Amino acid sequence: MKNVNETECIAEILKNCRRAVFFGGAGVSTDCGIPDFRGNGGLYKNGGAGNEYYLSRQCLENEPEAFFEFYRRNMTFEGVLPGGTHKALARLEKRGIIKSVITQNIDGLHQAAGSCNVIELHGKSRVCYCMKCRTEYGVSHIAKADGIPTCSRCGGIVRPDVTLYGEPLDGMSFREAAYEIESADVLIVGGTSLTVNPAASMVEYFTGEHLIIVNKDKTPYDSYAEYVIRRPITEFFEEAEKYIG
């Protein structure tokens, strides 16, 4: 781990890299008002592991009223705007530096900020679909429903297009993310504790030159990184952009 002018050194790496990829988690969206699930004020801290049940396939199937009450209150993200990290990554993509963004988040804020090549490992909260006929709806169909949202075509339950606890990740998204990471010479990991698998294991696909971790807390992969930055991620990207010029 290097200690002198870290952000300036990283900026120089980004200016000269062939293919940089960003892999992020909940910490990317905390400055937008969305709490980190396991951080202070997050759903895990406030409700413990019990909140995982309310976001599980089991709850959706066995207690759909409880599932949608919890989801509607905590996971719809209507009116939330992109933050500094989302905007910085979109600008770096336009400059050809960041080639893709891989996110564990479901809030859609990377796309809202202007990023085009975004891989959403856990799905997207802005879309929902009927479990019977697969008709798609916008998130407002769940947000504005009274009780269990149903399909106007067949009457089936309309669920969010996200990966719930007890469900596997979408195989195509996982393969696309693995390919992007394998192809990168720079991987920036930000705003994630890298403790929840299988998403956390994505880092193991990286065989490039520069692994950079930006997270306020320790991660299991810190010892493998060339740089470990213990600063707010938006602050880091704002400074890095200044050095990139």
Taking the chain (245 residues) in runs of 10, the rounded mean pLDDT of each run is 76 97 96 75 56 94 96 89 98 98 96 98 96 97 95 98 95 96 98 89 96 95 96 96 94
What whole-number distance in Å separates Cα of residue 97 and Cα of residue 128? 33
Question: Does one domain contain both 198 and 241?
Answer: yes
Question: Does one domain contain both 148 and 226?
Answer: no
**What pLDDT is recorded for position 41?**
54
**What pLDDT is recorded for position 245?**
87
3-state SS string for 154-175: CCCEEEEEECCECCCCCHHHHH
The CATH number linked to 187 is 3.40.50.1220
The yes-or-no answer on residue 141 being catalytic is no
**What pLDDT is recorded for position 126?**
93
Question: Does one domain contain both 181 and 219?
Answer: yes
Active-site residue, from 110, 122, 141, 210: 122
**What pLDDT is recorded for position 1?**
45
**What pLDDT is recorded for position 164?**
96
Query: Which residues form the domain of 130?
Result: 35-76+125-162
Hey, what amino acid is at 28? V
- The number of beta carbons lying within 10 Å of the beta carbon of residue 139 is 20
Question: Does one domain contain both 201 and 129?
Answer: no
Measured distance between the N- and C-terminal CA atoms of the chain, rounded to whole angstroms? 25
Domain count, the chain: 2
30, 109 in Cβ contact below 8 A?
no
Question: Does one domain contain both 21 and 40?
Answer: no
